[in-house]
Structure 1
Amino acid sequence: MKKVIIFLCTFCISPFSMANADTLQSQLSAIHQAESIGISNIKAEQIRQDKIEARHRAKLARIVSQKRKQAEQSARLRHKKALEKQKRLDALHQEKVAERLADKYRDQEYQDKLRDLEFKSKMIAIQKESARAARENDFIDVELNRQKAKTDILQSEADATRNVSKGTQNLMESEGRAKEDANSGWFN
């Protein structure tokens, strides 16, 4: 737009100069000069517009570069957060696996101790039975002696009862003879 105004101004000024000019040559020279000024003004305006556009392109390139850098930085941050989250999840998973394994080992250890205890109990029972079997004759002798002692006690009680009965019988017989002897005499 500026180019057109400059061109018109130059064109408007040129008729006034033509009136004063004597010759056609001077008029053509003035037109040529105005045309040169207009062209140089147009070129200057074009250069100025090119500089403005170059600044705009440079500014746009900087903005695009900044946006790209921000996007890359954001992507790196998201990737870093994702890695940290994955590490936390992996650590949590490892912790749970370790906890399950510890429970499993504790349970296995408990089962092993329980089997060991059962085994020892059975071994003690077997040893007890072995000792009992090895000393069975002693147990038999003790049992026989116990039964013999019971028999002796019963026999002693029977003998004592028999002796008391015999003593009572003898006493009664003696008393009976004594009464007979007392009654059989002269002075009775």
Structure 2
Amino acid sequence: MKSVITFLSLVTFSLTATLSAEAASLQDQLAAVAAAENAGKAQEQSQEDARQARFDREAREEHARRARIAAASAERQRQRDAAASAEKSRVLAEHQADKKRDQSYEDELRQLELEQRKLALKREAARVAREDEYIDQDLKSRAARTDVVQSEADATRNLSQGGRDLLQSEGKAREKKAGSWFN
């Protein structure tokens, strides 16, 4: 910038020198310097405005780029969160299904155990209800065994009495025979 101003100043100065020879009035020389100076300032302002516009445009582009990066990052985070939430929901649903299956199995086991207990109680109640019959059958069985033992004893006694009677009859017959005259 300073070089441009210096250049313009030199140009203006050389013009002024040239003009002073040609121009007659000091007023014209001052007006020419002021015009050259104004032209330099206008050119400097134009360059500054272009630089500021370029800086503003770059700042807007950088801001837009950062906004796109932030939006993409936010979208990736949202997708990660959604995937994590879906996985958590899936694991929770799987856990609840397992828990429900286990509870169902345990309920069935308890129901089976209750049914077995009820059946055992019914069986015991039937046995108690028929206890008199069991006692009667037991007594009849014992009586039958007693009768068998008694019958065996009677049979043994009868056999031994029969053998004794036979031996006595045979003994008497031999005595008679021995006592008779005609042997």
Q: TM-score range by the shorter chain?
A: 0.7 to 0.9
The separation in 1 between residues aligned to 2:181 and 2:56, in whole angstroms, is 176
Please state how far the C-alpha of 1:67 moved relative to its aligned partner. Answer: 0.9
2:18 corresponding residue in structure 1: 13
Structure 1 window deviating more from structure 2 (140-149 vs 97-106): it is: 97-106
**RMSD of aligned Cα (Å):** 2.5
Structure 1 window deviating more from structure 2 (93-102 vs 47-56): it is: 93-102
The separation in 2 between residues aligned to 1:89 and 1:27, in whole angstroms, is 87
Which of 151, 154, 163 is equivalent to 2:158? 163
The separation in 2 between residues aligned to 1:8 and 1:144, in whole angstroms, is 156
The separation in 1 between residues aligned to 2:10 and 2:122, in whole angstroms, is 128
The separation in 1 between residues aligned to 2:31 and 2:174, in whole angstroms, is 198
Structure 2: which 5+ residue stretches go unaligned?
1-5
TM-score (norm 2): 0.81
Assess if the C-alpha contact under 8 Å between 1:3 and 1:41 holds in 2: yes
The separation in 1 between residues aligned to 2:139 and 2:74, in whole angstroms, is 93
2:3 corresponding residue in structure 1: none
Structure 1 window deviating more from structure 2 (91-100 vs 145-154): it is: 91-100
Assess if the C-alpha contact under 8 Å between 2:8 and 2:40 holds in 1: yes
Q: How does 1:67-106 map to 2 (within 5 A)?
A: 67-106=62-101
Please state how far the C-alpha of 1:40 moved relative to its aligned partner. Answer: 2.1
Q: Following TM superposition, where does structure 1 have runs of at least 4 consecutive aligned residues deviating by more than 6 angstroms? A: none
Please state how far the C-alpha of 1:61 moved relative to its aligned partner. Answer: 0.9
Is 2:57 the counterpart of 1:52? Answer: no
Task: Tell me the alpha carbon deviations over residues 117-169 of structure 1, each in whole angstroms, 9 at most, x when there is no partner.
Answer: 22211211121122222222222222222122211211221122122222222
The separation in 2 between residues aligned to 1:2 and 1:179, in whole angstroms, is 190
1:177 corresponding residue in structure 2: 172
The separation in 2 between residues aligned to 1:126 and 1:27, in whole angstroms, is 140
Is 2:154 the counterpart of 1:149? Answer: no
The letter of the residue matching 2:37 is: I
Task: Tell me the alpha carbon deviations over residues 32-69 of structure 1, each in whole angstroms, 9 at most, x when there is no partner.
Answer: 44443333232222222222221111111111111111
Is 2:134 the counterpart of 1:139? Answer: yes
The separation in 1 between residues aligned to 2:175 and 2:114, in whole angstroms, is 85
How many equivalent pairs are there? 178
Assess if the C-alpha contact under 8 Å between 2:16 and 2:32 holds in 1: no
Assess if the C-alpha contact under 8 Å between 2:8 and 2:37 holds in 1: yes
Which of 4, 14, 21 is equivalent to 2:9? 4
Is 2:108 the counterpart of 1:113? Answer: yes
